[in-house]
Each structure stands twice: as structure tokens, then as C-alpha cells.
Amino acid sequence: MPDNTPRLYFLRGDDPARFKQVLGSFRTSMGDVDLADLNTTRLDGDSLWTLEALFSDAMTVPFLAPRRMVIVEKARDFLGRLNPDQQARMLSLLGDLPQTTALVLLVEDSLVRKKREVYWENARKYLWILNWIEQNRDVGAIVDCSLPDEEEMPGWIIKRAKELGGAIRPDAAYLLAGYVGNDTLRAQNELDKLISYAGAGKTVTSEDVVLLTAQDKEGNIFALTDAIGERNSNKAMQQFRLLTETSDVIEISAMIHRQFRQLIQAREIIDEGGRQAEVERELKVLPFLAEKLTAQARRFSMAQLLDIFNRLLEIDLDMKSGGLAGDTAYELLIAELTR
């Protein structure tokens, strides 16, 4: 085995599909599937309290295989608990890792973008180990796994389809991105299904996406928006509760955000004298979606749409900070908007 093969892999980000993909490539490189399972250990950073417990596994010789893999999930919490003496001890042990070990730290973190500044939200908790990796590239490697922006998702979908052995038309990729947002795990699951449906050597089309991808939820989102525009409280509450029967509030929240963001874009086009054709072209949506968005956008003024979107952002922040429960916050907002 080459001496320059990393022994420590620092995977950082909030993209579960990318984590899964990178770990999958590591497992493939370990050879036989059964032996890879025998030589893979998963540790939970929440319940990992001593360096001895970690390095006991990391120093173990692999069984009938060139390497063993030790994965620490929720590693950010574990790294953040170490005091300066423990940090120094860990760095010393990392330098002694055998070439037969791949120690993988899964660090959940998110990129923050503010104007021209981009930084990792929790980097201070693990900066000490990043600095060490930068100085010891023969031992460690940093793999960033951040979620793509929603605007980047069509390109991500096209690329991932190729990696999965299939192909998808650009218009179909835009449509699928509209359904899944930047939920890469869901996008990959949908791509698996769509590529299998299209068949070997075939290209996934927009019609395939409409047929197979969660059309019922999208319909309920449009029905919810219609009801809000009509100030029909009972209908709006009914549609929201239908959505909560099959999806969690976080997923629903992403769909509602996307819907009102598109309505703001459509309203802007209308205010500038544009029609359905311009909405279809500028938003890169299918004709039937452009028709719905155009009709719904006419029910609201731009000021109303911007106010609703700001309220949605407040709900999202409140949910993430442990405030009012998401379903309750949405029901209160719906009641207020349909008075």
C-alpha cells in the first residue's frame, strides 16, 4: 500500500447523500463485501467519551483485508468535548495510526454565506484538528460535503444521473429539482427510481418525472396556496393537514418556501408586463406549472408575497432554535392569512 494513502479522513458538511457516496467508495476499495463488513466499525460521537475507546478500534489489525475502516458519526460533538490536553493526546495518536486503518470522522456542519463571506458555522469547535491535517497531508485528508444551493441542483442531478449509469434531460432535471429542492438524498432516491423506469440506455424525461415523483404533494401545495389566496381558512387548513399526514414539517416547509419563492419571481415577471410564456422561460418550468404559478401570482400583490415569505423565514428560524412547533406555527400563519 502506498505510503501516501491517508489514514484520517475528515468529512465535513450537511449533505447526507455525499457522505453516503464517499463512504461507499471507501468500502468498495476494501475489496470483498463480507470482509468489508467485518472490517468496518461505527462509533457514535454522542456516546464516545474516551480516546482509548476510539483508538482501541483504530489500532486493530484488519482481518484478511488490506485495511479496516473506523467511522465516527456525530464527530463534531466528540471533538468539541476534548480539552487541550486531550486534543494534544489525540493528535499524537493520529500520527501513529497504522497504514492499515482508515479513520473517518463525520462532522456535521453547514456553510454560512453572508454577502462576500463564506465560512463553516461550527469550525471553531474543530479548528485544532483541521490545522493539524493541513500540516500533515500525508496522514489526513479533508473532504467537504456541503449541500448544493437550490440553483445548483439541476446540474447536480444531471451529474449524479451519469454517475448512476443513466441520463436525464435538462428540463427534467429542473423539474425534479423543483420537487426535491436541495435534498440530495431524496434526489438520489428519485433518480434511482427514474433511471430504472426509463430503462438501460434511455434518458429520463419530464414526463417520467411528472409520472413518478410525488405529484400528490405538489398538488396539495398548489391547493394550499390557492386556498390562502382565496382566504379560505377551512380549505387551507385541510390541505396543510393532508401534507402533514405523509411528510414531516421540515420537508413541507421546504416545499412551501420554494412555492412562494417561485410566486415572487412570477409576480415580478407579471409586474414587468410578462405573461405565462415568460414565467415558463424564466423559471424553467413546464407549461402546466407556469400556468398554475401565473394564475396564483395574480392573487397576491408583491408586498403580500414578500411579507408571507419573511414570515416563512421567521418560522424556519424558530423551528431550528427550538421555539414554537412547526405545525403549530404554520397553522397560526394560515389562520392569520385567511382571516
**Model confidence at 339: pLDDT above 90:** no
Alpha-carbon distance of 169 to 175, in angstroms, equals: 10
Identify the residue with better confidence: 203 or 171. Answer: 203
Confidence of residue 192 (pLDDT cuts 50, 70, 90): very high
Give the residues across from 13 on adjacent strands: 108, 145
**Assigned fold of 8-145:** Rossmann fold (3.40.50)
User: pLDDT digits over 215-247, tens only?
Assistant: 545 546 777 777 887 778 888 888 888 777 767
Domain 215-337 has CATH 1.10.10.60: no
Which residues, in sequence order, are CB contacts of 129 under 8 Å at separation 6+? 10, 79, 87, 90, 91, 105
Identify the residue with better confidence: 336 or 220. Answer: 336
Mean pLDDT, to the nearest integer, of 176-180?
80
| Intra-chain end-to-end CA distance of the chain, in Å | 70
Alpha-carbon distance of 240 to 11, in angstroms, equals: 37
Could you give the 3-state DSSP secondary structure of residue 108? strand
Tally the residues of the chain: 339
Give the residues across from 104 on adjacent strands: 9, 71
Report the mean per-residue pLDDT for the chain: 86
Share of the chain above pLDDT 70, in %: 95
**Model confidence at 37: pLDDT above 50:** yes
Mean pLDDT, to the nearest integer, of 167-186?
86
Identify the residue with better confidence: 215 or 333. Answer: 333
Which residues, in sequence order, are CB contacts of 34 under 8 Å at separation 6+? none
* 150-212 CATH choice from 1.10.3720.10, 1.10.8.60, 3.40.50.2000, 3.40.50.10490: 1.10.8.60
User: pLDDT digits over 108-165, tens only?
Assistant: 999 888 777 888 999 999 999 999 999 999 899 999 999 988 788 999 999 999 999 9
User: pLDDT digits over 290-316, tens only?
Assistant: 888 898 899 889 998 999 898 888 888
Confidence of residue 1 (pLDDT cuts 50, 70, 90): very low
DSSP classification of residue 24: H
Q: DSSP E strands: which ranges in the chain?
A: 8-13, 40-44, 68-73, 101-108, 111-114, 117-120, 140-145
User: pLDDT digits over 41-100, tens only?
Assistant: 999 998 888 898 899 889 999 888 888 999 999 999 899 999 999 999 999 999 999 999
Q: Where are the domains of the chain?
A: 8-145, 150-212, 215-337
pLDDT for res 323: 64
Q: Look-up: residue for cell 421546504?
A: 254
